[in-house]
Structure 1
Amino acid sequence: MNNETELVQLCINAACKTKQTVDKWRLQRRSLDRLPSHLADTLLRRLITRRLLHPSLLEVFKHSAEEIDLRGDNSVDAEWMAYLGAFRHLRYLNIAECHRINSSALWPTAGMNSLKELDLSRCSKVNDAGINHIISIPNLEKLHISKTGVTAKGIKLLASLKNLSLLDLGGLPVDDACLASLQVLENLQHIELWGSKVSNEGAALLNTFPKLTHLNLDWTSVTKLPNLSALECLNMSNCTIDSILKDDKSPLKKLIFAGSKFLNEAETLLYANTNFLSFLDLAHTGLDKFFFLSKLKVIEHLNLSSCIMDDDSVEMVACIGGKLKSLNLSGTWISSAGLGILAGHVPNLEILSLSQTSVDDTAFSFISMMPSLKDVDLSSTNIKGFLNQESTDLDSLSLTTIQNLKQLERLNLEHTQVINEALFPLSSFQELRYLSLKSPSLADISLYHLSSVPKLTKLSICDAVLTSYALDMFKVPETLKLMDLRGCWLLTKEDILSFCRNHPQIEVRHELVTVLPFEENGHHHHSSPSRLTSRTTQATRKKEQTPLSPSFVDQRMKYSRDELLALQFMSLPLAKRDNSILE
């Protein structure tokens, strides 16, 4: 089965290689008409990604495609819609953020009997006239019209879509009267009312939707809710919450209160049915009382970022940590000592965020006691990379203490005080795929240390003092797909393009130039991989022959930024100076 999948992918890649290859197979109408829907959908997605799809090419897929996602494509207009209207088996159409779509362009959708889901989010030119076309889609079950030009009058017309199970009205002028007109939609299970004009009186009508499981009231004036017997997911972010969920028996699984204000903090979730609650987001609520946490027996995802939680409160999290998979404590008052309280109580924790906290390198010994961790965010903390701050010996490198985390895939050390030598232990992180660094303390040697991370897929090393020599000496892991070098101000455009010619499979980001991988668009925008400069060729050969000593000290760290900039314009290239140092 895997071999078959690989073969299909190879065929699709070949079919979407260039405009010329597309022109060759598009004439085979008979074969394309019989193309299985899942292959047609995959081929369409690839054509869209590579910007090879145009309106007339759509006709080739009208008998086979079932799902089309064109979101954000500003070329999509009435001509595209005219072709899409002929698709006989289309079930899903996403044209969100296609800003050339207006109400008249929706006329071809009328009568599309197979269409089940339509997404028009943020198509600002769609208004009430467009709703008249939409209500002619007889079997529509899911409709997204958030941030469009639809008014209260148009919203009331939606009452004729009896099969609707999901309705996204976010950012629209939905008032209590509009909500009352939609009570006939008895199959409605999911409704988005964020940013609407619904009040407590309108919210009281929500219990007339017997199947309602998902409700979003973000940025509304609603402070109270009736008991909703089927409710599983509730979003009341950025609201002022008075009394909700009192004596409620609804099977709540997900609650989002980010940025909300609780008028009675002591009763927060105290009376809610939390027997099934697995996801709770209280970010930026400013809560400082956490007695309710003891009720969360099956919690898996907990976000307490920017709450007033200190080390004394961490024990309440530890008591419910048995099933926790994701814990966000960023911006709290927790220290390394508080993290020690958690250690040993969160055996299943996979994601841990401690960004913008006061934790330091002693935290690593406690993090090492969380064996299931896959993603750790330590950005903007007091991490320096050494257990003994007065020593720079390899034995004191703090990252060595978490080498036992065999599943660690993501590590964020941006805006920390980590220096070059501290990165040396990362070479033994066998599963590390995403690494984020951002510090002016990092130089060429840091990139050399990262050459040995075997599965690195995305590397972000921003604001570092890197030169062309670092790129020439970097032994690129085979898995690397993206390299973010923004803020590396000593690199020139030619340095980056030279690196890309040597490694065409990698997407590189920098203020001077962004180069997409060769395999995605068939060519580089800026240069041909075959045109290598003699300097790059020589440096590549030298890279294979000359090992870089781990004890190497980058001499550029002796200089200020102004002095380094001055060195850039001297007759002797800075990279050559570094070569002489190494030799």
Structure 2
Amino acid sequence: MSDRSFFTELESPLVRLCIESATQTADAVDTWRRQRRTLERLPSQLAEPLLHRLLSRRLLYPSLLEVFKYSIEKIDLRGESSVDAEWMAYLGAFQYLSSLNVSDCHRINSSALWALSGMRYLKEVDLSRCSKVDDAGIKHLLSIQTIEILCISETSVTANGVTLLSSLKRLSKLDLGGLFITDTALASLQHLDLWGSDISNEGASILVKFPNLTFLNLAWTKVTVLPNVSSIVCLNMSNCTIHSIFKGEGNKAKLSKLIFAGALFKDIDKAFSYFDSSCLSYLDLSNSSLRDLSFLSLIRSLEYLDLSGNLIRDDSVTFIASVGANLKTLNLSKTRVSSVGVAVLVGHVPKLETISLDSTPTDDLAISYIGMMPSLKAVNMRGTNVRGVIQQNGGDAECVLSLTALESLKQLEKLNIEETALKDEAIIPISNLKQLTHLSLRCSFLTDASLHHLSSIPNLINLSMRDAILTNTGIESFHPPPSLQVLDLTGCWLLTKDALLSFVQRHSNIEVRHALMTTFLSDKDANKYHSPSQTRMGTSPQRRFSSSPLKSEMAAIIDQRLKYSIAELLSMQFAFTSVGPSSDPSTSPK
């Protein structure tokens, strides 16, 4: 549990202060750890945040674990390099421990697991990527008959060790990802995760003997033919070559979720004909080199459809529209669908909440059609041909701001139009999107004017204006919405450290992201953790941020770009473009 989630859950300011004080220093910990009887009565809702706060501050050591043995029910030590057999010895004494996560703890070996033998309440154990755990470690776990969830992916467990797990009668979820197991190692489970294993079609054939299997992950395996396992509800065969699935006698599988990302199909129409698709609501076919979507006509309950990275064009959108009645999420990123294809969707996707057209040839006309999809909450048009204006018929006709069409989307919360050729005047309509909470812009044509246009969006939480030509004056005069929590100014190279720090001081509730802020926070953290003697001596604000002579000398170097106005910078940019190589038509000015 992170510190942030902990503070969210605890409502009492007094409790927060107590936890903060108790974990301030090693001396503070030594003071209260002697009060063992009091700690034994500490509720798990308080003991667990206290333990993880100690862990995050590097104040937790093995012997200190003993004071928590009657109060902790769940502990997450993933990635802690210091966790070893000594830690496990203390954890094995925890009386009510139900969940233990020591994934990525590379000092854990099979011998260390002996300490867990016979635990009475342990239900979940995660040993993922503990490469020193082998079959001997599995034998120690067999005495814990309460285990329901076990993750041993990327360990040294072999097929023999997996076979031993059949004695764990309550085991319902097993993650074996990345293990070199054979066909004989499979066990009867409800949740079977075999991604990256050596299972073959022969091994997959015995899956029909698993009447309760509902979740099956065969991603990155050599399985090409999956028999009819009618109990399966969720299937993942990403990055597999698929010849047929669920072909066979008996009741048809009623799938609700299919993940085929990166899969190759011998005959996709045939593959989709052997199961009952009436309940299929989630379908991921991203990066599968698809051109024809006619098979979609068999699926009528789709709510999530990911076709990103495929070779589909506008003529395929007709099949999407035919099954769009219940569609809520549609991802067409990195396809060849243009604004013409988006127009086909209008009137056929009444429940669509999220549409992604990232890196497609769509333009401002697509925005006009998107404005006719009333349920949209999130729109992604990153890296498209959007310019923010539509030229009306006739050479003298005025241009229309295309983003005005989004004003009809009363529920729109997220908008991503990064890496487009927008200019300041083009984004003015965005200020009228009152429900917008997340806005992502990334364009070198945007200036201070854009920043101030966006200050009137009342519910904005996250604003990204990367690579914009923002100045110190612009950021100093910016009045952010009261709801703003994150301001991403990455790549805004005209801004100085002093201007950013001044903004942060005035708006301490806003997280500012910028290369200069990263440097500042690193320096701040380094100064925050002084030795006890340094802490007692105290440090004035001036000394706290003092720099070395080298840093002072570097600070005296002024970025020469600062002496130019925005107009001069833009003129130099275009001048540089005009003298560049012109042999490549894609780089020449339009």
Cα pair distance change 1:392/1:401, threshold 3 Å: farther
- Does 2:438 match 1:402? no
1:372 is matched with which residue?
375
AA in 2 matched with 1:255? L
2:584 is matched with which residue?
none
Between 402-411 and 29-38, report the one with greater CA deviation: 29-38
AA in 1 matched with 2:134? N
Cα pair distance change 1:137/1:516, threshold 3 Å: farther
In the alignment, the residues of structure 2 paired with residue 468 and residue 392 of structure 1 have an alpha-carbon distance, to the nearest angstrom, of 38
Please point out which of 163, 170, 174 is paired with 1:156: 163
Length, aligned pairs only: 534
2:232 is matched with which residue?
231
Cα pair distance change 1:365/1:489, threshold 3 Å: same
In the alignment, the residues of structure 2 paired with residue 17 and residue 96 of structure 1 have an alpha-carbon distance, to the nearest angstrom, of 27
Offset at residue 152 of structure 1 (A): 3.0
Q: Taking CA–CA contacts closer than 8 Å with sequence separation of 6 or more, which of the two structures ends up with the larger relative contact order?
A: 1
- Does 2:357 match 1:357? no
Please point out which of 423, 446, 449 is paired with 2:450: 446
Deviations 1:40-59 (A, max 9, x none): 44555566566665545544
1:82 is matched with which residue?
89
| TM-score for the superposition, normalised by structure 1 | 0.82
Cα pair distance change 1:150/1:503, threshold 3 Å: farther
Offset at residue 429 of structure 1 (A): 2.2
Between 452-461 and 12-21, report the one with greater CA deviation: 12-21
1:307 is matched with which residue?
310
8 Å contact 1:462–1:484 — kept in the other structure? yes
Offset at residue 347 of structure 1 (A): 1.6
Between 212-221 and 554-563, report the one with greater CA deviation: 554-563
AA in 2 matched with 1:155? V
Unmatched runs of 5 consecutive residues or more in structure 2: 1-6, 531-538, 544-564, 577-590
User: In structure 2, the residue corresponding to 1:194 is in which secondary structure?
Assistant: coil
Offset at residue 39 of structure 1 (A): 4.4
Cα pair distance change 1:88/1:7, threshold 3 Å: closer
AA in 2 matched with 1:122? R
Cα pair distance change 1:92/1:9, threshold 3 Å: farther
1:575 is matched with which residue?
none
Between 139-148 and 247-256, report the one with greater CA deviation: 247-256
In the alignment, the residues of structure 2 paired with residue 407 and residue 213 of structure 1 have an alpha-carbon distance, to the nearest angstrom, of 36
User: In structure 2, the residue corresponding to 1:514 is in which secondary structure?
Assistant: helix
- Does 2:515 match 1:511? yes
Cα pair distance change 1:33/1:306, threshold 3 Å: same
In the alignment, the residues of structure 2 paired with residue 281 and residue 252 of structure 1 have an alpha-carbon distance, to the nearest angstrom, of 13
Please point out which of 293, 298, 301 is paired with 1:295: 298
In the alignment, the residues of structure 2 paired with residue 385 and residue 111 of structure 1 have an alpha-carbon distance, to the nearest angstrom, of 66
- Does 2:73 match 1:66? yes
1:210 is matched with which residue?
211
Offset at residue 511 of structure 1 (A): 3.3
In the alignment, the residues of structure 2 paired with residue 486 and residue 429 of structure 1 have an alpha-carbon distance, to the nearest angstrom, of 24
Cα pair distance change 1:559/1:321, threshold 3 Å: same
Equivalent positions of 1:372-521 (< 5 A) are 372-388=375-391, 396-514=400-518
2:552 is matched with which residue?
none
2:196 is matched with which residue?
195
2:580 is matched with which residue?
none
AA in 2 matched with 1:20? Q
8 Å contact 1:69–1:94 — kept in the other structure? yes
Deviations 1:9-28 (A, max 9, x none): 64554344353387476665
Cα pair distance change 1:242/1:106, threshold 3 Å: same
Offset at residue 254 of structure 1 (A): 0.5
8 Å contact 2:117–2:140 — kept in the other structure? yes
AA in 1 matched with 2:447? A
Equivalent positions of 1:100-179 (< 5 A) are 100-179=107-186
TM-align CA RMSD: 3.5
In the alignment, the residues of structure 2 paired with residue 265 and residue 7 of structure 1 have an alpha-carbon distance, to the nearest angstrom, of 52
Cα pair distance change 1:416/1:11, threshold 3 Å: farther
Deviations 1:82-118 (A, max 9, x none): 3322221121122222334333333322222211011
8 Å contact 2:305–2:329 — kept in the other structure? yes
Cα pair distance change 1:28/1:178, threshold 3 Å: same
Deviations 1:414-434 (A, max 9, x none): 211122222222223223222
Offset at residue 319 of structure 1 (A): 1.6
In the alignment, the residues of structure 2 paired with residue 64 and residue 394 of structure 1 have an alpha-carbon distance, to the nearest angstrom, of 71
In the alignment, the residues of structure 2 paired with residue 507 and residue 529 of structure 1 have an alpha-carbon distance, to the nearest angstrom, of 25
Cα pair distance change 1:487/1:236, threshold 3 Å: same
2:242 is matched with which residue?
241
Deviations 1:33-74 (A, max 9, x none): 334434444555566566665545544432222222233333
Cα pair distance change 1:13/1:295, threshold 3 Å: farther
8 Å contact 1:203–1:226 — kept in the other structure? yes
AA in 1 matched with 2:476? D
In the alignment, the residues of structure 1 paired with residue 308 and residue 45 of structure 2 have an alpha-carbon distance, to the nearest angstrom, of 41
1:574 is matched with which residue?
none
Deviations 1:125-165 (A, max 9, x none): 33333323322322111101112232334333323322210
User: In structure 2, the residue corresponding to 1:560 is in which secondary structure?
Assistant: helix
Please point out which of 345, 349, 363 is paired with 1:346: 349
AA in 2 matched with 1:279? Y
In the alignment, the residues of structure 2 paired with residue 299 and residue 31 of structure 1 have an alpha-carbon distance, to the nearest angstrom, of 54
Offset at residue 32 of structure 1 (A): 4.0
Offset at residue 78 of structure 1 (A): 3.5
Offset at residue 306 of structure 1 (A): 1.9
| TM-score for the superposition, normalised by structure 2 | 0.81
Between 355-364 and 34-43, report the one with greater CA deviation: 34-43
In the alignment, the residues of structure 2 paired with residue 246 and residue 459 of structure 1 have an alpha-carbon distance, to the nearest angstrom, of 50
Cα pair distance change 1:176/1:452, threshold 3 Å: same
Please point out which of 245, 250, 254 is paired with 1:251: 254
In the alignment, the residues of structure 2 paired with residue 164 and residue 516 of structure 1 have an alpha-carbon distance, to the nearest angstrom, of 49
User: In structure 2, the residue corresponding to 1:403 is in which secondary structure?
Assistant: helix
AA in 1 matched with 2:457? V
AA in 1 matched with 2:232? L
Offset at residue 332 of structure 1 (A): 1.6
- Does 2:553 match 1:560? no
Offset at residue 228 of structure 1 (A): 0.7
Offset at residue 279 of structure 1 (A): 0.5
In the alignment, the residues of structure 1 paired with residue 295 and residue 302 of structure 2 have an alpha-carbon distance, to the nearest angstrom, of 12
User: In structure 1, the residue corresponding to 2:20 is in which secondary structure?
Assistant: coil
Offset at residue 326 of structure 1 (A): 0.8
8 Å contact 2:243–2:271 — kept in the other structure? no
Cα pair distance change 1:361/1:76, threshold 3 Å: farther
Cα pair distance change 1:391/1:411, threshold 3 Å: farther
- Does 2:333 match 1:330? yes
In the alignment, the residues of structure 1 paired with residue 401 and residue 55 of structure 2 have an alpha-carbon distance, to the nearest angstrom, of 47
Cα pair distance change 1:149/1:20, threshold 3 Å: same
Cα pair distance change 1:6/1:99, threshold 3 Å: closer
AA in 2 matched with 1:441? F
8 Å contact 1:501–1:529 — kept in the other structure? no
8 Å contact 2:324–2:349 — kept in the other structure? yes
In the alignment, the residues of structure 2 paired with residue 392 and residue 485 of structure 1 have an alpha-carbon distance, to the nearest angstrom, of 38
Please point out which of 323, 330, 333 is paired with 1:320: 323
User: In structure 2, the residue corresponding to 1:400 is in which secondary structure?
Assistant: helix
Offset at residue 370 of structure 1 (A): 1.8
In the alignment, the residues of structure 2 paired with residue 13 and residue 387 of structure 1 have an alpha-carbon distance, to the nearest angstrom, of 55
AA in 1 matched with 2:327? L
Between 41-50 and 226-235, report the one with greater CA deviation: 41-50
AA in 2 matched with 1:207? V
8 Å contact 1:506–1:517 — kept in the other structure? no
